[in-house]
C-alpha cells in the first residue's frame, strides 16, 4: 500500500523536474564535462559555458604544465575582478567558441605564433602585467621586435616563478654558478657574456650577481640601459663613489661610471677602459696646464688627483 501511494508522488516530481529542465535548456557537453570535472565555468563571448579544464582534453601536456604554474591562479574566484580577465585559458587565448565548434584548428583561437606581431603577443601579457612593466613597449627588447614569449613561457613549462624559458647550461666549467636568468640573457648577448672571462670583472659567473642585478629587461630604453638613472645602478653596491660631493667629476655625472669603466669585465685593473691611467684621463682632458707637458702616457694621474670620483676639498680632486 505504501509503495502504491508513493508512485503518484514520484511521477509528479519527475514531471516538475522535466518542466524545469526544458525551460532552462539541455546542458551542453561542455557544461556536463565541467560538472564532471568539478572545475570552474567560463563564459565565452557568445554565452557558451566552457569549463577551465575542457582545454586539457586535447592539450593535456599544456594543461598539466599550466596547473603547476603561477598562471594557474587565474582559475581562482575573484581574479576577474582583480585583473579584469577571468579563468585560465580564455584570459590569454580569448573567445573559444569557434575553436570548440570546429574541433580545434589554427585560426579559430588566438595563438602565440611567431607570425603574430610581437607587439600583439606582448599586449596579451601587458593586459595583466602592464602595471608592473609600464615601460616595456619602449624597452630595447620590445623595440628590437621581441615579445614576452621570447624569454618567458606561457603555460609554465619551465620552473621558477618568473616562468623563464630554459637556456640549458652551455657553461663548460662545472663549478660556475650562473643563474637561470643570466643563462637566458647569454643566448642573445654572448658577446657581453664573454667579457666576464676577463681577470677584472663583476662576479656573475660565481653567482654573486646576475644580469638583472644591474639591468631591467622590461624598462624603457635609456642611454646606458641600466636599471637606475645613470650611475645609480652602480651606486647600489659602490655607494662610496656616488657622493654627493662638493666638487663632482663631470664625466661621472654626464656619462656615468661607464665613461671610465667597462662594467662587465676588462683586462685592466679596476675594470678601466685603458691599461694606462694617463691614456684614460687624456681621452677627455686633452687640454692640460703647461706644467703637465713633461708628463707622459706612463704617468699615473691619480697619484695627485686621488679623489677622482669626487671631492669635498678641492676642485681638481687633489688630496
Strands (E), 167-272: 200-201, 247-248, 265-266
Inter-CA distances, 31 with 37, 43, 151, Å: 10, 11, 36
At 5 the pLDDT is 43
**How many other CB atoms are there within 10 angstroms of residue 164's CB atom?**
17
DSSP symbols for 140-195: HHHHTT--GGGTB-SS--SSSTT-BPP-----SSTT----HHHHHHHTT-HHHHGG
Q: What's the pLDDT score for residue 84?
A: 53
* List of E strands, the chain: 41-43, 49-51, 200-201, 247-248, 265-266, 310-311
Please state, in angstroms and rounded to a whole number, the distance separating the CA atoms of residues 204 and 209: 5
Sorted by sequence, the CB contacts under 8 Å of residue 48 that are 6+ apart come out as 28, 30, 96, 97, 100
Q: What does the pLDDT profile of the chain (319 residues) look like in tens digits? A: 444 444 443 343 344 433 333 333 333 333 333 333 333 344 444 444 345 577 888 888 888 888 777 777 766 665 555 555 556 788 788 888 888 888 888 888 898 988 999 999 999 999 888 899 999 999 989 999 999 999 998 887 665 678 888 765 555 554 468 888 898 899 999 999 999 999 999 999 888 999 988 888 998 877 555 655 567 788 888 988 888 899 988 888 778 888 899 999 999 999 999 999 999 999 988 888 888 888 888 899 999 999 999 999 999 999 7
pLDDT for position 159: 59
Beta carbons of 45 and 25 less than 8 angstroms apart: no
Grid coordinates of 259: 665613461
Amino acid at each position: 500500500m505504501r509503495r502504491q501511494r508513493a508512485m503518484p508522488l514520484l511521477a509528479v516530481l519527475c514531471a516538475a523536474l522535466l518542466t524545469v529542465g526544458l525551460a532552462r535548456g539541455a546542458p551542453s557537453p561542455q557544461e556536463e564535462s565541467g560538472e564532471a570535472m568539478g572545475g570552474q565555468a567560463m563564459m565565452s563571448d557568445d554565452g557558451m559555458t566552457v569549463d577551465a579544464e575542457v582545454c586539457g582534453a586535447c592539450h593535456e601536456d599544456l594543461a598539466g604544465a599550466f596547473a603547476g604554474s603561477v598562471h594557474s591562479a587565474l582559475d581562482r574566484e575573484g581574479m576577474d575582478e582583480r585583473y579584469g580577465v577571468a579563468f585560465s585559458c580564455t584570459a590569454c587565448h580569448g573567445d573559444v567558441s569557434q575553436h570548440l565548434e570546429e574541433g580545434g584548428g589554427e585560426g579559430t583561437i588566438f595563438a602565440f605564433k611567431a607570425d603574430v606581431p610581437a607587439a600583439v603577443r606582448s599586449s596579451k601579457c601587458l593586459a595583466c602585467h602592464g602595471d608592473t612593466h609600464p615601460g616595456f613597449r619602449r624597452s630595447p627588447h620590445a623595440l628590437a621586435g621581441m615579445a614576452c614569449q621570447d624569454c618567458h613561457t606561457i603555460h609554465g613549462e619551465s620552473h621558477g616563478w618568473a616562468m623563464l624559458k630554459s637556456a640549458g647550461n652551455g657553461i663548460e666549467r662545472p663549478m660556475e654558478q650562473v643563474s637561470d636568468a643570466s643563462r637566458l640573457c647569454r643566448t642573445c648577448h654572448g658577446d657581453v657574456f664573454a667579457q666576464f672571462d676577463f681577470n677584472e670583472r663583476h662576479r656573475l659567473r660565481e653567482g654573486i650577481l646576475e644580469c638583472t642585478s644591474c639591468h631591467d629587461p622590461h624598462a624603457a630604453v635609456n642611454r646606458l640601459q641600466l636599471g637606475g638613472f645613470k650611475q645609480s645602478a652602480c651606486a647600489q653596491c659602490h655607494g662610496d663613489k656616488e657622493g654627493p660631493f662638493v666638487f663632482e667629476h663631470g664625466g661621472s655625472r654626464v656619462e656615468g661610471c661607464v665613461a671610465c669603466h667597462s662594467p662587465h669585465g676588462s683586462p685592466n685593473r679596476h675594470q678601466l677602459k685603458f691599461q694606462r691611467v694617463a691614456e684614460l684621463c687624456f681621452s677627455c682632458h686633452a687640454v692640460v696646464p703647461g706644467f703637465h707637458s713633461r708628463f707622459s702616457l706612463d704617468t699615473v694621474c691619480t697619484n695627485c688627483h686621488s679623489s677622482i670620483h669626487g671631492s669635498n676639498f678641492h676642485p681638481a680632486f687633489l688630496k
